[in-house]
Chain A
């Protein structure tokens, strides 16, 4: 066995282990840290597959940004860090059986398929003369895939504006507050705890 083969098996085993810990850890903060390890290992798999650009983007966007967002959400919502509250619902066993069935069905279909019959995609003419994955992806993004690239930027921008709007305090509150006739007593509604 070559070094890369051993590396693949080690990374895969670690990945499955940390993914299982992500969905089963009692503490949500710990769960987020396990998720960070899983996502970094996915980046290692991308490197092993020769996709350097995607690996770097994976590290930047997922481990750098999404994990930070998740950890911020965990810290902003105090109840999440409480270990005494059960983090899973009562359907853990049926869900485990269902997911096992999904894995079996997927695996069976994947192994039974003969992938050698797939016709390889035609070579992209825009990539002539590109040396290495980074240059090829950069050229491709700004030539063949320029319209999807611009569209996805627009979608990301819209989502960010929407997220700011949703999380804004003064806009979110009036709609969620109970109607005035429900506020007869001295209680101030669900916002009173603040």
Chain B
């Protein structure tokens, strides 16, 4: 669609976004930071889907539909995740993921 921009450009950009999000998930010590990394990874996947839809399958809408559903599920996941963060903070006065060991018994 854009002159000079191929599918590879979008896929590489999305791979970079995914790797950056993965780095955030692996290194952040607080649960909110981990969730933000997760959102970056989800957005990388969504960008992939829309790029496939826009550049390979123009007469159908499967990629955009899947992206809409992914966005909804991501919103649900963020809601539950942040409720867990608030609950964890209330119980432990801390949101460190390495200090959350309530299920260890």
Contact = CB atoms under 8 A, between A and B. Distances in A.
A79 interface: yes
A124 interface: yes
A69 B9 CA distance: 32
Contacts of A155: 72-73, 76
What interface size band does chain B fall in?
35 or more
Main SS at interface, chain B: helix
A167 interface: yes
Interface string B23-58: 110111110110111011001001100110111111
B37 A23 contact: yes
Main SS at interface, chain A: helix
A16 B39 contact: no
B24 A49 contact: no
A187 interface: no
A106 B18 contact: yes
A162 B80 contact: yes
A70 B64 contact: no
Nearest to A194: B90
Contact of B23 (A28, A95, A166, A176): A95
Given A16-B16, A23-B27, A190 B92 contact: yes
Nearest to A12: B13
Contacts of A20: 20
Contact of A167 (B4, B53, B72, B86): B86
Given A12-B13, A95-B23, A136-B61, A70 B43 contact: no
Interface string A13-30: 001100110110000100
Nearest to A49: B54
A159 B65 CA distance: 20
Contacts of A169: 90
Interface string A142-173: 00110010001001101110111011010011
Interface residues of A, number: 93
B3 interface: yes
A53 B64 CA distance: 9
B40 A22 contact: yes
- 9 A-B pairs closest in CB distance: A23-B24, A159-B76, A49-B54, A123-B59, A163-B83, A103-B19, A121-B60, A121-B57, A106-B15
19 contacts: A22-B36, A31-B36, A38-B17, A45-B50, A54-B46, A54-B68, A61-B75, A62-B75, A73-B82, A73-B85, A76-B89, A79-B89, A99-B22, A99-B23, A120-B58, A120-B59, A122-B59, A155-B76, A156-B73
